[in-house]
Amino acid sequence: MATRLNRGVRRGGLHSRSDLCEYERLSKWNQMMTDASIRERLCVIGASIFARGLTFGSTGNISVRHPDGGWLMTPTNASLGELDPARLSRLDESGQLIAGDKPTKESFLHRAMYEQRGEMNAVIHLHSTHSVAVSCLNGLDQHDCLPPLTAYYVMRVGRLPLVPYYPPGDLELADAVAALAGKHHAVLLANHGPVVAGSSIENAMYAVEELEETARIYLMLRHEDTRPLTPEQVEAIRRRFGVA
């Protein structure tokens, strides 16, 4: 995306305000982040996620847009609690490994999200307990899996569509995620877990944490007479905070 925008500037092709704003945002990202700082931050976030039981064993994966193009991703069969900054997978803009260990087997999920959401700089995919539990329930609204129980869920996650089940590693899952990612920065994979993108790795983490907590509350209250936010209240939050 950054390369495409740079080419657009050189040939005078950025005519829309949205293109210009995105170019300026990516330029700021490139200026602020270095290879070393991104690697260190990704490993710190991974350790925090693992220590708090938001994913287990070698499950879950994280990626961050690299300022020189492409991405850094967690390696395959690696625990988020024991990541080595020097061994993170470095992928170019075509998704080819150019340094580090072999990337997560689910790298295609990350690329599907980035391709549809050029403004996003990080993606987190977890097998977090309560979100996975919700993804296994019958009768979910496939367009919005969780009710708007809190304002912060609306602000951080918005609507959460359900992606149909595909076997692990099935590349058709990438197409299914891409079909929804244009309108949603967070999706829930059926019988699998959430995939969440953010403008920074911190924002992606905040969103996936909010999703997991809301899933936990939803399961706690599932058989109770709950009072979610009304459509009018949700719309007011979306307008106030610019939530899609």
Angstrom distance (rounded) from CA 118 to CA 171: 21
152 is catalytic: yes
CA distances from 206 to 57, 134, 156, 213 (A): 21, 19, 7, 11
Residue tagged active-site, from 93, 115, 119, 152: 152
What torsion do the CA atoms of 34, 91, 172, 206 make, to the nearest 10 degrees? -20
Q: Directed axis angle between helix 172-181 and helix 107-116, to 10°?
A: 30
Strands (E), the chain: 61-65, 71-73, 89-91, 97-99, 122-125, 162-163, 186-189, 193-198
Catalytic residue status for 153: no
Residue 46's H or E segment, with its range, is: helix 35-51
Active-site pick, 22, 106, 209, 213: 106
Concatenated DSSP letters for 169-213?
A: T-THHHHHHHHHHTT-SEEEETTTEEEEEESSHHHHHHHHHHHHH
Q: In what order do the strands lie in the sheet with 162-163?
A: 97-99, 89-91, 71-73, 61-65, 122-125, 193-198, 186-189, 162-163
Show which residues are catalytic.
Answer: 106, 152
